[in-house]
């Protein structure tokens, strides 16, 4: 197995000399073998190791025992250890997702944070050839396209940290043989034999049946097919990324439909998936049904509409654009905050960062559309007269006197004129001073707040999404 592992690492360029590798170890045979095998070859590869283990709190005392086992193994190998806990059942319930999805999200969040804390630049996970074959069959049963049927990728990244999977060419029987030869124990997870889990049924019933009745080497055949599909999918992905670049509004989660319509159906579906992923949706949420629903939303005769996705994500159609974000009610979006002038202000309710400075000049921001972020404005400092500037949510009955226009106008009428969907209006920041609306981002400053003298100090405001 060691020679096979080294061949895979070199062929795929998984590690570079000097890499600090964080090995994700659950305590099971696969991850224990990965840690031991990398430990044996670390000097040859020129890498250093650390171990991370997350207690998912799914199996009670057995989960606690797994954590102790991994910590002792790391100590015996004299490898730095990072441990953590996450109440995955509670997370799954609160987010309305499956236990498997909640566990995956918690695990990768923990691994990312641990890698940064231990200054590791690579994370290694122990996905095997068996995992790959099982994944491909599960994807096929659910009706996946080439991307899904490509299976588990050998290398990916999260927040700039590479994630590699050196065991994807190695089968579980080879791993267990390797551990027995070295008399290395591992932990058995009883849930791995529970046939109420779909993956376990594939592992213990479907694959053995296919090997007996169809092809004795079915796992290798499935993995070879996945490799071919992955290479072709990578090529198609680059084409779709080029289309997305023409349609996406930089710095936002918006998609301009007029630039997308000429694309054929297959290209559009790929663009939708890339767009949703770039917005922050987990890959598990972006299945075939979701893409078809987005397509139906785009093709619907109504000029506005919305669709909900799991984990509180909402896709909205507003005339010639699509937006995606976390769904919120009007009550959740009620906010009011005094702005630091000068300084930095965070509005958590709408994930907004406001930076203000006092200096001469006029910022002529492109009017990209009401409420669009990022946005900038220059406000007449003298008009403030030392009073507080407030940012708040829109309220029914609000009026403003837009600079360059005659008289006042209801914000509700402005929203209608600017084609802002009703459900988005409560999230648009309104800048106010003593009850007078001063500015709406992406629109205009109010009359009396405009810059009249470029030589005197003005209040410069910049808005961006907060992390």
Q: Does the global pTM surpass 0.75?
A: no
Output the CATH code of domain 336-465. Answer: 3.50.40.10
- Residue 458: beta bridge partners? 359
Task: In whole angstroms, give the CA distance from residue 53 to residue 260.
Answer: 44
Provide the sign of the torsion angle of the four alpha carbons 67, 73, 77, 78, taken in this order.
positive
Report pLDDT digits (tens) over 204-262.
999 999 999 999 999 999 989 988 998 898 899 999 999 999 999 887 788 998 888 77
pLDDT of 97 reads 75
Task: Please list, in sequence order, all residues whose beta carbon lies within 8 angstroms of the beta carbon of residue 400, skipping any fewer than 6 positions away.
Answer: 408, 409, 411, 414, 437, 440, 446
Task: In whole angstroms, give the CA distance from residue 298 to residue 303.
Answer: 9
Query: Is residue 86 within 8 Å of residue 110, measured between CB atoms?
Result: yes
Residue 370: how many other CB atoms lie within 10 Å = 21
φ/ψ of 256, rounded to 5, equals -85, 115
Report pLDDT digits (tens) over 136-179.
999 888 777 787 888 898 898 877 789 999 999 999 999 999 99
Cα separation values, 422 from 42, 372, 419, Å: 58, 15, 9
Output the six-digit token pair for 433.
């001073």
- Which top CATH class is 2-222? alpha beta
pLDDT of 328 reads 53
Task: Please list, in sequence order, all residues whose beta carbon lies within 8 angstroms of the beta carbon of residue 458, skipping any fewer than 6 positions away.
Answer: 358, 359, 360, 361, 362, 378, 379, 380, 381, 451
Q: Which fold has domain 248-326?
A: 3.30.465
Q: How confident is the model at residue 423 (pLDDT cuts 50, 70, 90)?
A: low
In the chain, where are the structural domains located? 2-222, 248-326, 336-465
Task: In whole angstroms, give the CA distance from residue 192 to residue 294.
Answer: 36
H-only helix segments in 280-340: 288-299
- Residue 409: beta bridge partners? 400
Task: In whole angstroms, give the CA distance from residue 273 to residue 295.
Answer: 11
Determine the Cα angle at 291 with ends 246 and 163, to 5°: 75
User: Across all residues in the chain, what is the average pLDDT?
Assistant: 89
Report pLDDT digits (tens) over 13-36.
999 999 999 999 999 999 999 999
Query: Is residue 316 within 8 Å of residue 306, measured between CB atoms?
Result: yes
Q: Is the pLDDT of residue 71 over 70?
A: yes
Nearest to 134 by CA among 92, 192, 190: 192
Query: Is residue 58 within 8 Å of residue 103, measured between CB atoms?
Result: yes
């Amino acid at each position: 197995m060691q020679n096979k592992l080294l061949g895979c690492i070199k062929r795929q360029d998984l590690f570079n000399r000097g890499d600090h590798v964080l090995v994700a170890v659950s305590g099971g045979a696969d991850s224990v073998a990965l840690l031991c095998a990398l430990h044996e070859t670390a000097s040859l590869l020129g890498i250093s190791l650390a171990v991370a283990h997350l207690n998912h709190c799914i199996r009670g005392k057995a989960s606690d025992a797994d954590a102790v086992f991994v910590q002792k193994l790391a100590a015996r190998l004299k490898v730095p250890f990072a441990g953590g806990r996450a109440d995955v059942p509670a997370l799954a319930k609160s987010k309305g997702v499956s236990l498997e999805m909640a566990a995956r999200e918690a695990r990768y969040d923990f691994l990312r944070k641990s890698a940064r804390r231990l200054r590791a630049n690579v994370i290694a996970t122990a996905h095997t050839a068996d995992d790959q074959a099982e994944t491909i069959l599960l994807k096929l049963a659910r009706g996946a396209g080439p991307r899904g049927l490509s299976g588990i990728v050998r290398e990916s990244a999260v927040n700039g940290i590479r994630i590699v999977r050196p065991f994807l060419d190695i089968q579980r029987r080879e791993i267990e043989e390797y551990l027995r030869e070295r008399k290395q124990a591992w932990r058995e997870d009883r849930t791995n034999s529970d046939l109420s889990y779909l993956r376990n049924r594939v592992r213990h019933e479907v694959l053995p049946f296919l090997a007996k009745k169809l092809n004795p080497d079915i796992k290798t055949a499935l993995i070879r097919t996945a490799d071919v599909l992955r290479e072709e999918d990578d090529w198609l992905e680059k084409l779709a990324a080029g289309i997305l670049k023409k349609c996406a509004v930089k710095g936002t989660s918006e998609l301009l439909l007029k630039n997308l319509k000429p694309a054929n159906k297959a290209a559009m579906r790929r663009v939708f998936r890339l767009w949703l992923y770039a917005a922050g949706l987990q890959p598990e949420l972006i299945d075939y049904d979701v893409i078809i629903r987005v397509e139906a939303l785009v093709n619907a005769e109504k000029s506005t509409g919305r669709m909900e996705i799991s984990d509180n994500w909402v896709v909205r159609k507003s005339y010639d654009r699509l937006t995606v974000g976390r769904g919120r009610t009007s009550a959740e979006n009620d906010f009011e905050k005094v702005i630091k002038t000068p300084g930095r202000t965070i509005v958590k309710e709408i994930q907004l960062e406001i930076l203000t400075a006092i200096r001469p000049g006029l910022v002529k921001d492109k009017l990209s559309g009401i409420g669009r972020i990022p946005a900038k404005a220059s406000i007449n400092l003298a008009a403030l007269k030392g009073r507080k500037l407030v940012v708040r949510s829109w309220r029914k009955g609000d009026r403003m006197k837009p600079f360059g226009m005659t008289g006042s106008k209801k914000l509700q009428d402005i929203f209608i004129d600017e084609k802002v969907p009703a459900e988005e209006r409560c999230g648009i920041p309104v800048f106010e001073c003593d009850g007078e609306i001063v500015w709406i981002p992406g629109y205009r400053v109010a009359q009396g707040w405009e810059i009249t003298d470029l030589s005197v100090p003005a209040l410069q405001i910049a808005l961006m999404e907060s992390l």
